[in-house]
Amino acid sequence: MKRIALLGMPNTGKSTLFNRISGASARVGNWPGITVDLMSAKILIGGHIAELIDLPGIYDLHGFSDDEQVVRHFLSKNPVDLVIILLNSSQIDRQLSLVLQIKKLNIPAVLALNMADEAKRSGITIDTDNLEKALQMPVSQISAKHGDGLPKALEAATKIINQNQTPTDPKLISQYLQEDNQIEQEIESLIQRHVHIPATLTDNTTDKIDKVLLHKWFGLPLFFAAMYALFQFIFTVGKPLQDGLAWALNLLRTSLLEPIFSSSPAWLHGLMLDGVYNGLATVAAFVPIIVLFFLVMSIVEDSGYLSRAAFLMDALMARMGLDGRGFVMMLMGFGCNVPALMGTRVMRSRPMRLLTMLVIPLSLCSARLQVFIFIIAAIFTAHQAPIVLFALYVMSFLTMFLTAVLFQNQYKNAEPFILELPPYRFPTPRQIVLRGWQEVKHFLTRASKFIVIGVVLVWAMTNFPSNVAPASIDTFAGQIGLFFAPVLNPIGINSQLAIALIFGFVAKEIVIGALAVIYGLQGDALMAQMATQIDWVQAMSFMLFTLIYTPCLSTIATLRNESKSSAFMWLSIAWSLGLAWVISFVFYQGARALGF
């Protein structure tokens, strides 16, 4: 099988091009370092089945960051038939060095100059024909986002693949990578002969927007106001979608599933309907809001605004021993903690990486978001809901900042912060849909693993021993609740909520399903029951604990893998558990003391 490597600097659109060529759903984000792991897909090119590998974005083959080492290791250990090098056309003067480094390896290569439309608006013209002759490799200007120019680039790649050349020996590549050639002079010569860059770029739209959004006084308030507006929009639009899906799921149960299992043994009826179906249906009802959330966030991410947020936060983050990249990783953590933890590989300083990894699990991830949307919808009014959710996001930031301040002396960093601000862009509908589908697929994958297993175990624990009342204090679940009561009662968490929290250690998505199984209800009926069982103070305390306490098993495993330290992993677990209890205790007891 032929092997094609996709290589380029961070933020050049590699993941977008990977998706465009392969039809896969690699995550696309508009900040440096988004691709942190090797992704591959099988494609058909030139009559050959080829493996397309999306290598991490790097600035230099001779660098020593984790991503640069990953790329060097891959090229020196694996035969490669072709490298597609992707550059940002408007930054070709800074990125051509990587092309020359790859050229030194003698690997067949095609150069794709991405974002040709942005370069044109900036007044940059590139003589691709003569540049191709000078580099002795095919050169094409493309737009990975829109697909312009891509057929020509793929045609050049096909010609190389069809030549059936023997891949360059990885041992020779390893030898080349040990050399440090005089590349800077070659870059200057090529730029002077083949590229015209005007003294002032003609497209100043980005600068005009940045004068407002990066204002030293108004920048941060505008950012948080924009985030609040997004939450308001998501709840306003998503609530009818959620209600409609919940109605459809309830209709499916009453009209189809109940007749099917009506003659089944009581234990099977309870397991399938009160256990598996109630658990999954309750979680599934919130998928529309989750999808809507990520569709909106994909627009924000791909627009380039999150890079601005990192820039705005850098001065504050520096006081806590972090930098703007750490803030970007925190924002990534609001989607999922796992890729955010892996994203810290772009940091060369180990202390900086460890401190950033310590705060990321406190991000309000999408799994926690499902729990909060459910509790908020059950306990709070439609007017209060966006405010409560926004408050939880603020608390998430505050706990991360507190953690960074307390541990910054233990993980001191001296690495300077360099962040390139990309121009503002609006993602294509295809990119937005791919991101939404990715989140749905992520949910379905986890549902097929953790949630089904979790709700079945919860059903068993709340229904056995079989000679006691379901969900009573005498069941296994009830006994576990009694065991943890001395710790959880002071923060207002009852035995039912305690069981849900315990299973939340595995995956936070299980929490809602567990509550549905414990109460034997789903949808509106479950919400109504919850509203009679707990008040808003207990609900808020429960959500604060869920926000802060130990993340899911996937996050814990990633922490261990990325830090390469079991001690650091246990520190993270112990800190988050202790902090969660203290904050919930202060809130709950304080609210009760004030008469709430």
Kindly report, residue by residue over 435-467, the tens digit of the pLDDT: 667 766 766 666 566 667 777 888 888 888 878
Kindly report, residue by residue over 143-183, the tens digit of the pLDDT: 988 888 999 999 999 998 888 677 777 777 777 766 544 55
CB 536 within 8 A of CB 379: yes
3-state class (DSSP) for residue 372: helix
Give DSSP secondary structure letters for 428-461.
-HHHHHHHHHHHHHHHHHHIIIIIHHHHHHHHHH
pLDDT beyond 80 at 346: no
Residue 28 banded pLDDT, cuts 50, 70, 90: very low
CB 225 within 8 A of CB 260: no
Instruction: Look at 560 and 423; give whichever has higher pLDDT.
Output: 560
Give dist(CA 1, CA 311) in Å, integer: 44
Report the range of poorest mean pLDDT among 31-35, 198-202, 427-431. Answer: 31-35
Dig out the tokens for 516 from the structure: 């549905």
**Rama region for 77: left / alpha / beta (φ>0; ψ in -120 to 50; rest):** alpha
Q: What percent of the chain has pLDDT over 90?
A: 24
pLDDT beyond 50 at 34: no
Residues whose CB falls within 8 Å of the CB of residue 116, separated by 6 or more in sequence, listed in order: 89, 141, 142, 143, 148, 149
Q: Which domains occur in the chain, in start order? A: 2-196 (3.40.50.300), 220-593 (no CATH)
Q: What percent of the chain has pLDDT over 70?
A: 89
Give dist(CA 28, CA 435) in Å, integer: 8
Report the range of poorest mean pLDDT among 96-105, 113-122, 296-305. Answer: 296-305
Helix and strand numbers (H, E) in the chain are 29, 8
> What size, in residues, is the chain?
596
Q: Mean pLDDT across the chain, nearest whole number?
A: 82
Average pLDDT over residues 411-422: 67
- The residue type at 450: F
pLDDT beyond 90 at 325: no
Q: Give the containing element (helix H, strand E) for 584.
A: helix 566-593
CB 292 within 8 A of CB 234: yes
Average pLDDT over residues 303-321: 78
Q: What are phi and psi of 419, to 5 degrees?
A: -135, 130
Strand ordering across the sheet containing 39-45: 39-45, 48-54, 2-8, 82-88, 109-114, 139-141
Average pLDDT over residues 312-337: 77
Give dist(CA 306, CA 431) in Å, integer: 17
- The bridge status of strand 82-88 relative to strand 39-45 is unpaired
End-to-end CA distance of the chain: 67
pTM equals 0.64
